[in-house]
């Protein structure tokens, strides 16, 4: 509907675009082009940028309903992200380091954060994902990778003031690349007149998984619930393992040595009951019928360790034929944590 000159009417278009325009509406394609162009100036969205959603309520609900067995991760991530977004002028970029076995939900949560902070999720031009051995496979090209990485970070932040950078397999990043990242998460007002303090950096790593699993197992053997594990208790053990780690340069990088990681987020090993919930979510996501017997049968096909058969050896990675879904080649879609499905 046309509006009077000098006024701006904002409405939802196709349930996802916030349309602001003062000309007659002609054709959906035309409108989407106009609305995207207009909204790029940030004049019609609460966040100041229509690409940015910052749906904290949705993130909280998703963490509560879909991330199973991770009470520490739920609490730390929500408080960290919400606190950062609500700070008018952060002192530095937010840096979170996710630690734990494969399949426990690190990639899943990274995707969840992208989905709720950005309209287009991982496909947003404000989000960049780097997988160590995929994007930086050859050590002899580290100098070239450093130039390319700095360029991508700089261009993304200039394009989107609130940007998200995800580094998967962080323990395999070359020390030179970690040094290249450091200035962007340090306490600088700007670098080459570009302000990076509204950016978010996520580092996903398997380092620390052994001590996280051992602490969880010790609590179980002592007859204590895993929910009794506190962040304060586990973090001191996690930091010690990181300092003693010989796996890659991440554990001994300036990021850790200079305390530039704001929060270390532990992902606990998953028990039978958590995997079962994930399998249930898989069926629900596909609107497939299931019974408790079917869920139990799927879980029985997985490997559990140690001798008590307590923790899933592959986290929530399930053979794809068990839930018959081509969109996730392996892994439970409720926590579809394999790298190929998420970031490939």
**Boundary (domain end) residue, out of 267, 288, 321:** 267
Q: Which two tokens stand for residue 175?
A: 């020390």
* Residue 41, domain member (yes or no): no
Write down the pLDDT at residue 247: 67
**Boundary (domain end) residue, out of 250, 267, 284:** 267
Write down the pLDDT at residue 15: 39
Write down the pLDDT at residue 33: 54
Residues 238, 310 within the same domain: no
**Boundary (domain end) residue, out of 211, 236, 267:** 267
* Residue 25, domain member (yes or no): no
Residues 107, 128 within the same domain: yes
Q: Do residues 51 and 123 touch, judged by C-beta distance below 8 A?
A: no
In angstroms, the CA 37 to CA 113 distance is 25
Q: How many CB atoms lie within 10 A of CB 306?
A: 10
Q: Which domain holds residue 306?
A: 270-343
Write down the pLDDT at residue 331: 38
H helix or E strand, kind and range, residue 14: none
Write down the pLDDT at residue 305: 86
Across the chain, which has 344 residues, the per-10-residue mean pLDDT values are 40 38 46 51 66 97 96 97 96 97 94 98 97 94 96 97 96 92 94 95 94 95 96 89 76 87 96 93 91 91 86 71 45 39 40
Q: Name which of 76, 111, 130 is nearest 336 in CA terms.
A: 111
Write down the pLDDT at residue 236: 85
Residues 109, 252 within the same domain: yes
Residues 293, 175 within the same domain: no
Q: How many CB atoms lie within 10 A of CB 167?
A: 27
pTM of this structure: 0.81
């Amino acid at each position: 509907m046309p509006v009077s000159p000098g006024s701006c009417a904002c409405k939802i278009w196709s349930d996802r675009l916030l349309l602001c325009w003062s000309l007659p509406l002609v054709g959906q394609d035309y409108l989407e082009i106009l609305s995207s162009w207009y909204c790029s100036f940030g004049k019609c969205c609460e966040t100041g940028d229509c690409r940015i959603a910052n749906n904290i309520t949705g993130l909280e609900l998703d963490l509560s309903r879909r991330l199973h067995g991770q009470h520490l991760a739920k609490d730390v991530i929500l408080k960290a992200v919400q606190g950062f977004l609500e700070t008018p002028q952060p002192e530095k970029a937010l840096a979170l380091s996710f630690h734990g076995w494969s399949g426990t939900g690190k990639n899943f949560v990274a995707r969840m954060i992208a989905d709720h902070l950005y309209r287009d999720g991982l496909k947003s031009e404000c989000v960049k994902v780097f997988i160590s051995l995929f994007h930086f496979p050859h050590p002899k090209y580290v100098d070239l990778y450093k130039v390319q990485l700095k360029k991508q970070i700089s261009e993304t932040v200039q394009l989107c003031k609130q940007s998200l950078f995800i580094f998967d397999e962080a323990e395999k990043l070359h020390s030179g690349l970690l040094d290249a990242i450091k200035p962007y998460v340090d306490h600088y007002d700007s670098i080459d007149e570009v302000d990076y303090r509204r950016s978010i950096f996520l580092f996903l790593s398997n380092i620390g998984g052994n001590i996280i699993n051992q602490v969880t197992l010790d609590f179980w053997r002592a007859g204590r619930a895993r929910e009794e594990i506190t962040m304060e208790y586990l973090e001191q053990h996690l930091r010690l393992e990181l300092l003693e780690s010989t796996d890659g340069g991440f554990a001994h990088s300036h990021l850790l040595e200079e305390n530039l990681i704001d929060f270390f987020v532990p992902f606990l090993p998953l028990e039978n009951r958590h995997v079962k919930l994930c399998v249930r979510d898989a069926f629900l996501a596909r609107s497939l019928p299931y019974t408790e017997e079917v869920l139990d049968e799927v879980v029985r096909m997985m490997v559990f360790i140690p001798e008590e058969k307590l923790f899933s050896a592959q986290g929530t990675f399930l053979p794809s034929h068990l839930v018959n879904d081509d969109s996730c080649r392996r892994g439970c879609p409720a926590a579809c944590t394999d790298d190929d499905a998420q970031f490939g």
